[in-house]
C-alpha cells in the first residue's frame, strides 16, 4: 500500500509531500529521498497518510529508504570534508577573478548529482568562467544561485530573538513580503532594532499573524466611535485587539475598560450641519450687487476695421522685445516633441548569465 508523508530536505529546509511504501516511518526519522534534483537527505515531519488523499495528487518525490549507518557516514563526510573544501575553492576563484559577489554557502547533493553555490550580489554577475572552473574541478553539475538577506539567514542562522528556531527554518515554505502596516496593526514597537529578524528585515511572524489580527479587529468598534454601555454612552479612545477590550471615555470624562461582550450597542455617527457664516452672507451680497451692475455694451465694428486691428497687433508682437524668448520656447518645444534618439547602446542593462539547464560546461 502506498502512503504520503511530509518531509524536509535541502539546505533551504524545504518541506514537500512524498509518496512511499515504507510502513514504519515516523515523525523525525531520517530518510533518503529522490526529488527533481537527485538523491537527497531528508527528515520526516508528519505521520503517514493513505495515498488516496488529495495531497498525494502531485508529490514532490518519493522516499527510497530510511537512513542506514552508511548513509549517516556519507552525510558526515559531505558536511565535514567535502562542502568546506568546495566553499574554500569557490571563494578563492571569486577573489582571483575579482567578481562582485559574496559566497554564502554550498550545498552538495547527497547523491552527488549537483553542487549548488549560494551567493549574494548587489546586481547581475557574469560568472560563466567561474562555472567552468568549478565544473572542471568537480566533474559534476554546477548551479549558481543568487539569494537575498532572508535566504542567507535561513541558510546560516538557527535561532531568533525569541529563543525559538527561526520560523523560516521550521514551517514557513515561502518567504512573503512583510510591511510596516502589519506592525502598526499589531501595535508593536516601531523600533527597527526590535521588530527586525536575524536577516535584518521585518520579522516573518508579523506576516503570518497579520491575518489573525485583521480578523479580530473586525469585531472591535473603531477609535472615535460612540458606544452604549451599562454605565452610559461613551467614546472609544483605544482598544486591545488580542484581549478584545475597549477603553471608553464616558460623558462625565471618566474612562473605563470593558470587554467586547459588555458593549450594548455601537451608535451611528452624528452628522452636524454648519450654519451659514457671516463671510458667506457678505459674499452673497457682493454677488447680488455685482449682478445688478450694468455692463458696458460693445460697439459694433466693420470687417475692415477688425482686419486692420489684427494686422497692427501682429506687427507689434513680431517686433516686441520678447520675440527671441518666444522663438527659443518654440524651438525647445519642437525638440521635446521630436522622437527620442536610440540610446540603447549607452543605457543597455547588464545581461544575466546563468548556467544552461544541463548545467555542464
Percent of the chain residues past pLDDT 90, beyond the cut: 31
| pLDDT over 60 at 218, yes or no | yes
pLDDT, residue 98, reads 93
pLDDT top residue among 259 and 329: 259
| Half-sphere exposure in the Cβ direction for 136 (13 Å, CA) | 7
Give the confidence band of 154 by pLDDT, cuts at 50, 70, 90: confident
* Residue 96: DSSP 8-state: H
* Residue 164: DSSP 8-state: S
pLDDT, residue 75, reads 95
| pLDDT over 50 at 338, yes or no | no
pLDDT, residue 360, reads 44
Among 77-81, 146-150, 168-172, whose mean pLDDT is lowest? Answer: 168-172
**Structural domains in the chain (count):** 4
Which domain CATH number covers 134? 3.30.300
Q: How many DSSP H helices and E strands does the chain contain?
A: 13, 14
Mean pLDDT of the residues in the chain: 78
**16 and 62 co-located in one domain:** yes
Read off the pLDDT of residues 113-142 as tens digits, 9 standing for 90 and up. Answer: 999 999 999 888 999 999 999 999 999 999
Calculate mean pLDDT across residues 63-74. Answer: 94
Q: Report yes or no on 289 lying in a domain.
A: no
Q: Report yes or no on 13 lying in a domain.
A: yes
Domain extent for 234? 221-267
pLDDT top residue among 342 and 181: 181
**127 and 95 co-located in one domain:** yes
Q: Report yes or no on 315 lying in a domain.
A: no
Give every strand in the sheet of 255-259, ordered side by side.
255-259, 245-250, 232-240, 226-229, 265-267
Q: Which of 131-135, 179-183, 250-254, 353-357 has the highest mean pLDDT?
A: 131-135
Amino acid at each position: 500500500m502506498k502512503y504520503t508523508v511530509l518531509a524536509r530536505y535541502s539546505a533551504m529546509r524545504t518541506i514537500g509531500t512524498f509518496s512511499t511504501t515504507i510502513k514504519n516511518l515516523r515523525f523525525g526519522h531520517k530518510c533518503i529521498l529522490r526529488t527533481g534534483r537527485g538523491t537527497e537527505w531528508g527528515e520526516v515531519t508528519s505521520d503517514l497518510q493513505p495515498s488516496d488523499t488529495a495531497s498525494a495528487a502531485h508529490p514532490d518525490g518519493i522516499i527510497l529508504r530510511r537512513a542506514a549507518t552508511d548513509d549517516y557516514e556519507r552525510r558526515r563526510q559531505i558536511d565535514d570534508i567535502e562542502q568546506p573544501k568546495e566553499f574554500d575553492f569557490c571563494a578563492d576563484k571569486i577573489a582571483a577573478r575579482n567578481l562582485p559577489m559574496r559566497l554564502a554557502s554550498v550545498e552538495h547533493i547527497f547523491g552527488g548529482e549537483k553542487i549548488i553555490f549560494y551567493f549574494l550580489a548587489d546586481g547581475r554577475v557574469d560568472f560563466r568562467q567561474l562555472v567552468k572552473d568549478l565544473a572542471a574541478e568537480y566533474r559534476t553539475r554546477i548551479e549558481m544561485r543568487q539569494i537575498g538577506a532572508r535566504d542567507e539567514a535561513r541558510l546560516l542562522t538557527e535561532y531568533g530573538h525569541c529563543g525559538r528556531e527561526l520560523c523560516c527554518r521550521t514551517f514557513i515554505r515561502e518567504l512573503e513580503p512583510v510591511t510596516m502596516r502589519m506592525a502598526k496593526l499589531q501595535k508593536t514597537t516601531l523600533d527597527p532594532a526590535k521588530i527586525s529578524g536575524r536577516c535584518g528585515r521585518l520579522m516573518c511572524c508579523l506576516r503570518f499573524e497579520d491575518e489573525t489580527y485583521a480578523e479580530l479587529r473586525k469585531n472591535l468598534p473603531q477609535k472615535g466611535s460612540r458606544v452604549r454601555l451599562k454605565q452610559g454612552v461613551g467614546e472609544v479612545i483605544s482598544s486591545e485587539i488580542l484581549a478584545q477590550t475597549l477603553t471608553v471615555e464616558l460623558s462625565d470624562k471618566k474612562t473605563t475598560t470593558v470587554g467586547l461582550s459588555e458593549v450594548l450597542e455601537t451608535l451611528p455617527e452624528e452628522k452636524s450641519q454648519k450654519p451659514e457664516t457671516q463671510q458667506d452672507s457678505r459674499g452673497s451680497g457682493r454677488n447680488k450687487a455685482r449682478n445688478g451692475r450694468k455692463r458696458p455694451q460693445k460697439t459694433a465694428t466693420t470687417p475692415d476695421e477688425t482686419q486692420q486691428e489684427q494686422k497692427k497687433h501682429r506687427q507689434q508682437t513680431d517686433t516686441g522685445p520678447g520675440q527671441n524668448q518666444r522663438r527659443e520656447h518654440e524651438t525647445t518645444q519642437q525638440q521635446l516633441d521630436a522622437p527620442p534618439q536610440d540610446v540603447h547602446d549607452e543605457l543597455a542593462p547588464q545581461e544575466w548569465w546563468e548556467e544552461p539547464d544541463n548545467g555542464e560546461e
